[in-house]
Amino acid sequence: MSLSRVNTSAATLTKNRTDGSVSPISGMCVTCVDGCIGMCEIGKSAFRGHEVIYPQPFGVITTAAEKDYPIDYSHINIMGGVVGAQGIEADSDKAVFPNVNLEARFGHDGGIKFRYPWIIPGIGSTDVAKNNWEGLAIGSALAGTGLTIGENVSGMDPASVIKDGLVVDTADLKRRVQLFQDHQRDGYGAIIVQTNVEGTRLGEHEFVRLGGADRGDWRGRMVGEFRGLTSKMTVASFLFPMTQYYRIFMRSGVSTKPGQPQWQ
């Protein structure tokens, strides 16, 4: 039994001709007829090609999977106790939800600190990301959580300056970083830059880590995540203003260099 919906989805603007009578393995209509206009993904991809690769309309949506997992959070109950308390004094005036501490620290020395243990994943170079970035960045920074800048933002930025195949300036990436940093409080949270093969070729992470061609005031820290085609390697650059240095953390070890990368 397939847990996924195959060959038809509102995400690709496709459907079956024989809705309700579908082969569960392939997702094809039980009678695939000659002369059908091709409403399913197989038919549509035959003449519209790449339009079926990405959810539509591309650039103005966020998407979710239709996979029907056999278990979800609705199957789990949190059973509270009637007496006593754990993690706090058993006092009705003190054991109240505003006193719950959800702060999390991680990194090789616990130097990354979040007020709440969650992170917003890659919000990339599409219009829906750019148009809503202000609320995402400011909200995440004030909450003290993590926010990820999606891949290849510099490559899709019309204002980017690229020399010898490498990005040396990008207005959009700097704007996204600055919005977060301007509202970051007490060093909580992290702004993260994710890149793909295109961004890697442009030297996007090197630009972020070194501050690019334009240098100014970098507050907070940047975390970079390289995404390969078939494997993932995490490389993080952190800037701690109080010590005026940055460290490049890799799985193979740690290196430290002097200097403070800055934006103008």
For residue range 71-84, what is the model confidence (pLDDT) as tens digits? 888 899 888 777 88
* Model pLDDT, residue 177: 92
Boundary of a domain, candidates 76, 106, 129: 76
Instruction: Tell me, yes or no, whether 137 lies in a domain.
Output: yes
Residue from 252, 235, 178 nearest 212 by CA: 178
Residue 242's pLDDT band, with cuts at 50, 70 and 90, is: very low
**Is the model's pLDDT at 29 over the cut of 90?**
yes
Between vectors from CA 192 to CA 190 and to CA 196, what angle results, nearest 5°? Answer: 170
Task: Take residue 43 and report the two structure tokens written for it.
Answer: 């038919």
- Ordered DSSP codes for the chain: --SS--S--GGGT---TTTT-B-TTT--BSS--TT----SHHHHHHHHGGGGTS-SSTTS---------S--GGG------SS--SSS-S-TTTSSGGG----EEESTTS-EEESSS-EEEEE-SSHHHHHTHHHHHHHHHHHT-EEEE-TTHHHH-TT-EEETTEEEE-HHHHHHHHHHHHH--TT-SEEEEEE-HHHHHTTHHHHHHHT-SS-----S-EEEEEE-SS-EEE-EEEEETTTTEEEEEETTEEEEEE------
Q: pLDDT tens digits for 222-239?
A: 444 433 332 232 333 333
Top-confidence residue, 47 or 245: 47
Instruction: Tell me, yes or no, whether 195 lies in a domain.
Output: yes
Residue 179's pLDDT band, with cuts at 50, 70 and 90, is: very high
Mean pLDDT calculated for residue range 48-62: 85
Mean pLDDT calculated for residue range 208-220: 50
Boundary of a domain, candidates 43, 76, 109: 76
Q: Do 105 and 46 have their domain in common?
A: no
Residue from 51, 111, 132 nearest 239 by CA: 111
Query: Can you state the angle between helices 133-143 and 171-183, rounded to 10 degrees?
Result: 30
* Model pLDDT, residue 92: 87
Instruction: Tell me, yes or no, whether 85 lies in a domain.
Output: no
Q: Do 207 and 110 have their domain in common?
A: yes
Question: What is the percent of the chain with per-residue pLDDT over 90, rounded to a whole number?
Answer: 43
Answer yes or no: pTM beyond 0.75: no
Q: pLDDT tens digits for 91-110?
A: 889 888 888 888 999 888 88
- How many structural domains compose the chain? 2
Q: Do 54 and 108 have their domain in common?
A: no
Q: Do 14 and 102 have their domain in common?
A: no
Mean pLDDT of the chain: 78
Q: Do 51 and 102 have their domain in common?
A: no
Q: Do 180 and 149 have their domain in common?
A: yes
Instruction: Tell me, yes or no, whether 84 lies in a domain.
Output: no
Residue 211's pLDDT band, with cuts at 50, 70 and 90, is: low
Q: Do 101 and 203 have their domain in common?
A: yes
Which structural domain, as residue segments, surrounds residue 253? 97-258
Instruction: Tell me, yes or no, whether 220 lies in a domain.
Output: yes
Q: Do 129 and 241 have their domain in common?
A: yes
Instruction: Tell me, yes or no, whether 87 lies in a domain.
Output: no
Mean pLDDT calculated for residue range 163-178: 92
Q: How far is CA 147 from CA 22, 40, 53, 119, 136, in A?
A: 41, 36, 26, 6, 8
Q: Do 148 and 228 have their domain in common?
A: yes
Residue 62's pLDDT band, with cuts at 50, 70 and 90, is: confident
Residue 88's pLDDT band, with cuts at 50, 70 and 90, is: confident
**Is the model's pLDDT at 210 over the cut of 50?**
yes
Instruction: Tell me, yes or no, whether 264 lies in a domain.
Output: no
Q: Do 113 and 187 have their domain in common?
A: yes
Boundary of a domain, candidates 15, 44, 76: 76
Top-confidence residue, 50 or 8: 8
Instruction: Tell me, yes or no, whether 239 lies in a domain.
Output: yes
* Model pLDDT, residue 56: 86
Q: Do 141 and 249 have their domain in common?
A: yes
Q: Do 120 and 199 have their domain in common?
A: yes
Mean pLDDT calculated for residue range 113-118: 94
